Structure 1
Amino acid sequence: MNSNKLILIPGAWSDKTIWEPLETELEKLGIESNALTLDGLKKKDHSKGVDLKGHVDSVVAFLDSQDHKQNYLVGHSYSGLVASMVADQVPEKVIGLVFIEAFLPEDGKSLLEIAGLDIVEETTEIEENGGFWLPPTSDELSSQPFLTEKHIDYLTNNMVGHPGKTVTDKAELVGKNLQSIASFYIGGNLSASVKNNPNFPQIDFHKIEGGHWPMLTMPRKLSEILRNIMHTNS
Structure 2
Amino acid sequence: MVVAAREEGEMESCRHRPDRGDGRRSAREYLMATYLICHGAWAGNWAWKRIRDLLRTENHEVLVPTYTGLGERAHLANPLVDLETHIQDVRNVIEYENLTDIILVGHSYGGMVATGIADRIPERIRQMIYVDAFVPQDGESLYDLSGGESSFAASVEGWLIPPVALAPDTSPEDIAWTTPLRRHQPVRTFSQRLRLSHATPPCPRAYIHCTRKPNKDFFRQFADRFSQNPAWAFHGIDASHSPNITDPHLLAQLLLSYAPAPLP
What aligned pairs does 1:202-221 form with structure 2 within 5 A after superposition?
A: 202-221=231-250
How far off is 1:212 after superposition? 0.7
Matched, 1:93 2:124: yes
2:115 and 2:262 map into 1 onto residues whose CA distance is: 18
Look up the equivalent residue of 1:185 and give its one-letter code.
Y
Determine which of 92, 100, 118 is the counterpart of 1:61: 92
Relative to structure 1, is the Cα distance of residues 111 and 201 closer, same or farther in structure 2, using a 3 angstrom cutoff? farther
Matched, 1:131 2:151: no
1:80 and 1:115 map into 2 onto residues whose CA distance is: 13
Look up the equivalent residue of 1:230 and give its one-letter code.
A
Asked whether the equivalents of residues 119 and 196 of structure 2 are also in contact (C-alpha less than 8 Å), the reply is yes
1:129 and 1:47 map into 2 onto residues whose CA distance is: 12
Partner in structure 1 of residue 209 of structure 2: 187
Look up the equivalent residue of 1:222 and give its one-letter code.
L
2:230 and 2:75 map into 1 onto residues whose CA distance is: 39
Matched, 1:13 2:35: no
Matched, 1:28 2:57: yes
Q: Which has the larger radius of gyration?
A: 2
Please give the secondary structure, in 1, of the residue aligned with 2:35: strand
Partner in structure 1 of residue 175 of structure 2: 152
2:104 and 2:252 map into 1 onto residues whose CA distance is: 14
Partner in structure 2 of residue 84 of structure 1: 115
Determine which of 134, 157, 179 is the counterpart of 1:103: 134
Look up the equivalent residue of 2:75 and give its one-letter code.
D
Determine which of 131, 141, 144 is the counterpart of 1:113: 144
Asked whether the equivalents of residues 5 and 72 of structure 1 are also in contact (C-alpha less than 8 Å), the reply is yes
Matched, 1:223 2:252: yes
Relative to structure 1, is the Cα distance of residues 233 and 75 closer, same or farther in structure 2, using a 3 angstrom cutoff? farther
How far off is 1:36 after superposition? 1.1
Matched, 1:47 2:77: yes
Higher RCO (Cα < 8 Å, 6 or more apart): 2
CA offsets per residue over residues 2-42 of structure 1, 9 Å max, x none?
33200112100001000001111112222221111011113
1:221 and 1:193 map into 2 onto residues whose CA distance is: 21
Asked whether the equivalents of residues 19 and 35 of structure 1 are also in contact (C-alpha less than 8 Å), the reply is yes
1:232 and 1:101 map into 2 onto residues whose CA distance is: 25
Look up the equivalent residue of 1:181 and give its one-letter code.
C
Over aligned residue pairs, what C-alpha RMSD do you find?
2.4
How far off is 1:127 after superposition? 6.6
Aligned length: 223
Look up the equivalent residue of 1:37 and give its one-letter code.
T
Asked whether the equivalents of residues 104 and 194 of structure 1 are also in contact (C-alpha less than 8 Å), the reply is no
Please give the secondary structure, in 2, of the residue aligned with 1:126: coil
Asked whether the equivalents of residues 154 and 162 of structure 2 are also in contact (C-alpha less than 8 Å), the reply is yes
Look up the equivalent residue of 1:58 and give its one-letter code.
D
Asked whether the equivalents of residues 37 and 64 of structure 2 are also in contact (C-alpha less than 8 Å), the reply is yes
Q: Which runs of 4+ in 1 moved over 6 A?
A: none
Identity %: 25
Look up the equivalent residue of 2:59 and give its one-letter code.
G
Partner in structure 1 of residue 185 of structure 2: 162
User: Which runs of 5 or more structure 2 residues have no equivalent in the other structure?
Assistant: 1-29, 212-218
Asked whether the equivalents of residues 162 and 183 of structure 2 are also in contact (C-alpha less than 8 Å), the reply is yes
Look up the equivalent residue of 1:7 and give its one-letter code.
L
Q: Which structure carries more helix by proportion?
A: 1
